[in-house]
Every structure is written in C-alpha cells, then in structure tokens.
Amino acid sequence: MVKANALPRGADSAELAEAELVAAARRGDAAAREALTRRYLPDVYRLTLRILGERGIAEDATQEAFVSMLRALPGFRGDASFRTWLLKIAANAAYSAGRRQSRRHEVPITGAALHASGERDAASRVEQQAELARVEQALGALPTKQRLAVALRAQQGLSFAEVGAAIGCSEGAARVNYHLGVKRLRELLT
C-alpha cells in the first residue's frame, strides 16, 4: 500500500488506484503488473500503430514495450505520470522496430466504430469504411509529429504535456503540431 503522503494532493480515485498499482508492481506483484498492462495496452498499441502503420509490427513493438516496462519499472521515480513514462517507452520501442523494418506503410483501415456497427446494413458499412479510409489517408498525409500529436490528443486524450513527452518535444511544440495537424486535416477532409 502506498503511503498517503506519497500521493499527489487532490489525487482522485483513479490516480490513487494507479499509484497503488505502480507501487505494487514495483514490489513484484504480478496481479498489479497485469492490471497496469491491461489498462494501458490500448494506449500503447495505438501509439505504436500510429508510428509504425502496420498492425503486425505494432503488436511486436507493443509486446516489447511492456517487457521493457517491467525491466525499467524499478527505476520509475514518478517524475512524470506512469502513462507518460510508459508511452515514452512505447514510442522508443516503435521507433526501434521501425528502424529494424526500414520501411513505412500507411495505417491499415480499422476502426472501433466500424466494428461496433453491429447489424447496420451493408451499404452503410461500405460508406463508413470509405469514410474511415478517407480519414486514415488524411492522417497518413500529415508529417509524423503532427499525425502523432493529433492521434494522441484527439483519440487517446493525452494532455499536450503528455503528447510532448511521448513524441519527444516540448509541450508548446506538441500544441503547435496538434493545431497544424488539425488545420491540415480540415483542408483535406472538408
């Protein structure tokens, strides 16, 4: 259990739970480690997919990121949030995987909305798929940092400080990349 005075003032229940999970995972608690992994798997996978653009390589990078997380966990001091710290590890894993592959592809056409469409008719699905393809194509046309800034901010809800930490730039640069990316998307999609 984490001491109360080790937690940030005003920490909400989610932050408290996370701080406890991180502390327990650092002590070697397997259940805490798995809970953290489950919690952040979507964030890590989507980041690696945005960087790499190919699902198979992104899955490899995700696995590598979480294994690296375990190795690095004893050194986590809480200077940044755990998620920010983990996403930096994930970005590094993705960049390493990208260097190994030495090639880049467009992000495949996927989408939660498409898969959640359930019983919608075929015509609607085709339209939706076409729209997703258009969005993915537009995102793929952005410079890397703009694409990542938009994806991390709009899709994953990171703050600009967290975006900056994840993609290796300042909070201000993350904000600029995000707004330039959104502006370009508006030109491409409207």
Partner 1 sequence: MTISHPCDHVRERLPELLRDELGATERRELERHVDGCADCQAERRVLRAVLDALPEIPGTLEARVLAAQRRPPVRPARLSPARLGMAATVAAAVIGGALMIDAGLGRPSGNGTVPAGETALLPAYVEPLVPRSVLPELTEAELEQLLKEMES
Beta carbons within 10 angstroms of residue 119's beta carbon: 5
Taking a C-beta distance cutoff of 8 angstroms, is the pair 82, 35 a contact? no
Residue whose CB is less far from partner 1, 6 or 94: 94
CA-CA distance, 171 to 139, in Å (whole number)? 21
CA 5 centroid distance within chain = 30
- Rule CB under 8 A: which residues touch partner 1? 30, 33-34, 37-38, 41-42, 45-46, 49, 55, 59, 62-63, 66-67, 70-71, 107, 110-113, 115, 131-132, 135-136, 139, 150-151, 153-155, 157, 172, 175, 179, 182, 185-186, 189-190
Q: Report, in Å, the least distance between residue 44 CB and partner 1.
A: 9
Residue whose CB is less far from partner 1, 4 or 127: 127
Beta carbons within 10 angstroms of residue 182's beta carbon: 16
Q: List CB contacts of 133: < 8 A, sequence separation 6 or more.
A: 109
Residue whose CB is less far from partner 1, 11 or 132: 132
Residue whose CB is less far from partner 1, 84 or 155: 155
